[in-house]
Amino acid sequence: MRVFVVPDVHGRTCWQAPAQHFLDTHSPADHVVFLGDYVDSFEVSNEQQLNTFTDIIAFKKANPDRVILLLGNHCFQYLYLSVVKCFGFNEDLYPALHLLYKLHIDYFQVAYQRGQTLFVHAGISQAWLTLHAEKISQRQQALEATAQPALLADVLNSLLRSPGGPALLWEVGPEHGGSDPLDGPVWVRPAELKANLPPGLTQVVGHTPVAEITEVGDEATGARLILTDCLSKKVDFLTLAF
């Protein structure tokens, strides 16, 4: 099984041909995973940003079992109109984007996981997992009680649909203008993650621009972090085999 990863597009169209080619030339078991942040750009017109977002929704609709759409910080604000808005928040596009997210909420999730590889917009720090260990355990037990999967991604996606869960996932620390003690899964930056990676877990993230796809790791704990948000510098996409 293979996974083709599309990092933060921010209105760009460079994902279309490679993602479609991947689906056309690979097996039905292979997936395309978008890491979130579909809009908010100072370089791309509002019209193109909106068209790109509707194209991504249509791509998911045409391939419901093969395309995974994750939520990033530039998604949460249009879905929930969070108190803390991201740099680049587009007031003009808000009504249309809010409606599109609400109408297609079932298309989106926070995380996707294959074995010990977690796909999430920004990342998960061990400190954040420890801080919310009780709530995470409760969600895990609730899933297991109904015989549902309970991987970390399943727990995070369950939080998204639970009371108070979106606020937990959105948590923003002081560095980004928030009042929470730590950055959550759609906000945390690599500098914080690298020193605080959950052991044994490979995380594939976007969120923080890099010149090229970059991997870092901790041999002692078996933790890995793959940074993919390179589209502002280089059109390149990660493909992982499982």
Report the distance separating Cα 147 and Cα 150, nearest Å.
Answer: 9
Residue 135 has pLDDT above 70, yes or no: yes
- The pLDDT of residue 82 is 65
If one looks up domain 2-241 in CATH, what number appears?
3.60.21
Please compute Rg for the chain using Cα positions. Answer: 17
Lowest mean pLDDT among 98-102, 113-117, 135-139: 135-139
Place of tokens 């954040």: 128
Q: How many CB atoms lie within 10 A of CB 27?
A: 9
Residue 127 has pLDDT above 90, yes or no: yes
Q: Nearest Cα to 201, choosing from 98, 111, 131, 90?
A: 111
Report the distance separating Cα 226 and Cα 222, nearest Å.
Answer: 13
Residue 19 has pLDDT above 90, yes or no: yes
- The pLDDT of residue 83 is 63
% of the chain exceeding 70 in pLDDT? 99
pLDDT averaged over every residue in the chain: 94
Q: Nearest Cα to 98, choosing from 109, 82, 87?
A: 82
Q: What is the pLDDT of residues 81-114, one digit of tens each?
A: 766 678 889 999 999 999 999 999 999 999 999 9
Q: What is the pLDDT of residues 49-74, one digit of tens each?
A: 999 999 999 999 999 999 999 999 99
Report the distance separating Cα 115 and Cα 149, nearest Å.
Answer: 12
- The pLDDT of residue 222 is 95
Mean pLDDT (whole number) for 8-12:
98
Which tokens is 59 given? 């791509």
Burial degree of 117 (CB within 10 A; 0-12, 13-18, 19+): middle
Three-state SS across the chain?
A: CEEEEECCCCCCCCCHHHHHHHHHHCCCCCEEEECCCCCCCCCCCHHHHHHHHHHHHHHHHHCCCCEEEECCHHHHHHHHCCCCCCCCCCCCCHHHHHHHHHHCHHHEECEEEECCEEEECCCCCHHHHHHCHHHHHHHHHHHHHCCCCCCHHHHHHHHHCCCCHHHHHCCCCHHHCCCCCCCCCCCCCHHHHHCCCCCCCEEEECCCCCCCCEEEEECCCCEEEEECCCCCCCCCCEEEEC
